[in-house]
């Protein structure tokens, strides 16, 4: 058990250090809030901003640790206040690009996804009566 705890603690410390270093290297930090996020979202976002910024999605406690939750521990002024907004599914996006460029990107950002359970259909699909199959030789419609 102790070996596992040491690995976990080392992972947390390294992650916090990476986030702190990134905060010091970029001009802006954005809190990204998502609902039912899928991996394709992060992959596309990271690919689009690979050379222009960094995105971090981790447990909220790790994100808060990186910012510092109170005045003596915060790594930049007022980041302790910012950490109070970290709840639910969220992460950080750090960049030095102009705010207008980031805003325009975010407003136009979309990722096509397969529907999930309880999703509302955006198109009407009609399936013809009869056997539907990919095997016309078995009597199904192609």
pLDDT tens for each residue of the chain, 142 residues long: 688 899 999 999 999 999 999 988 999 999 888 877 777 778 888 898 988 999 998 899 999 888 887 777 777 877 878 888 888 888 899 999 999 999 999 888 877 777 777 778 888 888 888 776 666 666 555 5
Given this model, what pLDDT does residue 128 score? 81
- Cβ–Cβ under 8 Å, residues 49 and 55: yes
Q: What's the order of all strands across the beta sheet hosting 53-56?
A: 28-33, 90-95, 53-56
Alpha carbon 18 to its chain's center: 16
Given this model, what pLDDT does residue 97 score? 94
Alpha carbon 102 to its chain's center: 15
């Amino acid at each position: 058990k102790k070996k596992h705890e040491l690995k976990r603690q080392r992972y947390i410390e390294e992650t916090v250090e990476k986030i702190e270093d990134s905060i010091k290297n970029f001009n802006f930090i954005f809190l990204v809030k998502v609902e039912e996020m899928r991996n394709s979202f992060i992959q596309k976002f990271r690919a689009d901003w690979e050379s222009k910024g960094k995105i971090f999605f981790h447990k909220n406690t790790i994100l808060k640790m990186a910012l510092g939750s109170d005045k003596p521990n915060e790594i930049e002024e007022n980041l302790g206040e910012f950490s109070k907004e970290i709840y639910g599914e969220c992460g950080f996006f750090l960049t030095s690009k102009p705010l207008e460029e980031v805003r325009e990107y975010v407003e136009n950002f979309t990722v096509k996804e397969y529907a999930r359970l309880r999703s509302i259909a955006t198109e009407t699909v009609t399936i013809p009566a009869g056997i539907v199959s990919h095997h016309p030789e078995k009597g199904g419609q192609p």
